[in-house]
Structure 1
Amino acid sequence: MTDSGTPRAAVRAGRRVTVVTGGGRGIGAAVALRLARAGHDVALAYERDAEAAGGVAARVRALGRAALAVRADVAVEAEVEGLFDAVRAELGPPTGLVNNAGVTGPLGRFTETSPAVMRRVVEVNVLGALWCARRAAREMSARHGGAGGAIVNISSAAATLGSPGEYVHYAATKAALDALTTGLAKELAAEGVRVNSVQPGMTVTDMHARMGDPERPWRDPGRVPLGRPGEPEEIAGAVAWLLSGEASYTTGAVLRVAGGL
């Protein structure tokens, strides 16, 4: 049985199983719920907040889908392997991955950002995405016996804006995700796996508080052509489309959802 009480054989038969990293809050939580409404079973990876991830998993189950919450630091390859092993055992082979887990560290100028913060940001945002994409590709690629699938990397408008004075190091990691998207899309296209990227702009999540400026989304609204920050659900809609059959001819795309930034 799965932790949702559904027999494993029934869960596996013809189901879409999507792994969402950083799925306990913000954009990740919105993505998980949007995918559940679209018929996906969802595995949520979280690092610290088990209560938040468990709450999202409960909401997924309330929508009639199976859910699994797994503690995993995506920067640690062994924990990523354990995450995917748990997903395969409880929900079945994954058919989708949303590489959403990410950190920024405190806001500040590049020269005042500590090496420890830079290292952690690179390890989570870049290495974590690489470890997850690698295992997901092995699960889904026809070359490895998989039935195909899709990967969506959550990048950022910072990848092209650069974010001077705030988090240049973070922007650099998001540019790396877009490069991963381009290369992996070409490498896996013939093996039945599509790879795309979504670039959110200023979005209302608690990440801003963790950066040290909880009011940041509402400060200087004129810099966003639409005049407001985005909501996590608006990002989730783009992700759900890229994982759907309607995007069957879309791979290697970098979709900007940033209010005109």
Structure 2
Amino acid sequence: MQGTVVVTGGSRGIGAAVVRALAARGVRTCFTYSTHREAADVVAAQAADLGTEAVPVQADVSVEGEVRRLFTQAQQLGPITGLVNNAGITGRQSAFVDLEVERVRRVLDVNVVGAFLCAREAVRRMAATGGGTIVNVSSRAAVLGGAGEYVDYAASKAAVDAMTVGLAREVAAHGIRVAGVRPGLIRTDIHASAGEPERVERLKGTVPMGRGGEADEVAEAVVWLLSDAASYVTGTTLDVSGGR
């Protein structure tokens, strides 16, 4: 795996695990964070300890100008050969009838518009330099629906799944692969942000494997999709969910 990989939302959770997994393989990254510079610096230091450069860039992926700036900075590290569309948010757990329009718009802006903007900038550069790979981080919620908790988040991830299929077909002739992963119940901070830090423990009995997953397990799937080992994989999304 050569070149530079852009990882959005790389300061925590799955994104941070992806940056570390790539660093362990000697792959340089440029990753985004939203507000917590300290967390981003920790991830960059962890990558450096593994002997690989990881450059944090503050960016809101839903803002077109900030996405363009991100890719301009990333390109200074070398040709962009990979994008991991990982940045995503959800609101607090809520019944559908109580969802506020501002919250729904923000979830769609970050999770859908952000993924589109980043993929567009990546495709423009990859098409000009011989190809690359985009991995979109979706969620099993896209299939299960998020009832009673976050239907808006689930719908946003279903949109990402559709984009994965359509974009893969559109850019295959340019040497660009587009695939995705759908994490299930993974131990990350997103559950606390949604108002239930122990959500994985509550629901782990619904997982056939009987446990929640770890961010590192999702990261390994992402890295495989980015690698030449997945050279004939495009337009599909891999479930990383313990069977749930």
With the length of structure 1 as denominator, give the TM-score of the two structures.
0.92
Q: Residues of 2 paired with 1:214 and 1:258: CA distance?
A: 18
- How far residue 25 of structure 1 moved from its aligned partner, in angstroms, is 0.2
Q: Identify the residue that residue 171 of structure 1 maps to in structure 2.
A: 154
Structure 1 stretches of 4+ moved >6 Å: none
The structure 2 residue matched to 1:53, chosen from 40, 44, 53, is 40
Residue 73 of structure 2 corresponds to residue 86 of structure 1 = yes
- How far residue 15 of structure 1 moved from its aligned partner, in angstroms, is 3.8
Residue deviations 1:31-87 (CA, integer Å, cap 9, x gap) = 110011122101111111111011101111111112210000001010000000111
With the length of structure 2 as denominator, give the TM-score of the two structures.
0.98
1:206-217 aligned at under 5 Å gives the runs 206-217=189-200
Task: Judge conservation of contact 2:3–2:78 (CA < 8 Å) in 1.
Answer: no
Task: Name whichever of 125-134 and 31-40 sits farther off.
Answer: 31-40
The structure 1 residue matched to 2:98, chosen from 104, 112, 117, is 112
Q: Identify the residue that residue 146 of structure 1 maps to in structure 2.
A: 129
Q: Residues of 1 paired with 2:214 and 2:234: CA distance?
A: 25
The amino acid of 2:18's aligned partner reads: V
SS of equivalent to 1:204: coil
Q: Quick one: percent identity of the two aligned structures? A: 54
Task: Judge conservation of contact 1:138–1:146 (CA < 8 Å) in 2.
Answer: no
Q: Identify the residue that residue 7 of structure 2 maps to in structure 1.
A: 20
The structure 1 residue matched to 2:22, chosen from 28, 35, 42, is 35
The structure 2 residue matched to 1:130, chosen from 101, 111, 116, is 116
Q: Residues of 1 paired with 2:82 and 2:161: CA distance?
A: 18
Q: Residues of 2 paired with 1:237 and 1:16: CA distance?
A: 19
- How far residue 255 of structure 1 moved from its aligned partner, in angstroms, is 0.2
Task: Judge conservation of contact 2:185–2:204 (CA < 8 Å) in 1.
Answer: no
Residue 230 of structure 2 corresponds to residue 218 of structure 1 = no
The 1:239/1:224 distance shift into structure 2, 3 A limit, reads same
Q: Identify the residue that residue 11 of structure 1 maps to in structure 2.
A: none
Task: Judge conservation of contact 2:138–2:158 (CA < 8 Å) in 1.
Answer: yes
Task: Judge conservation of contact 1:16–1:39 (CA < 8 Å) in 2.
Answer: no
Flag structure 2 segments of 5+ consecutive residues without an equivalent: none
Residue 230 of structure 2 corresponds to residue 250 of structure 1 = no
Q: Identify the residue that residue 82 of structure 2 maps to in structure 1.
A: 96
SS of equivalent to 1:116: helix
Q: Residues of 1 paired with 2:63 and 2:139: CA distance?
A: 23
Flag structure 1 segments of 5+ consecutive residues without an equivalent: 1-13
Q: Residues of 1 paired with 2:25 and 2:130: CA distance?
A: 20
The amino acid of 1:249's aligned partner reads: Y
Q: Residues of 1 paired with 2:71 and 2:148: CA distance?
A: 37
Q: Residues of 1 paired with 2:182 and 2:202: CA distance?
A: 20
Task: Judge conservation of contact 1:42–1:60 (CA < 8 Å) in 2.
Answer: no
1:179-198 aligned at under 5 Å gives the runs 179-198=162-181
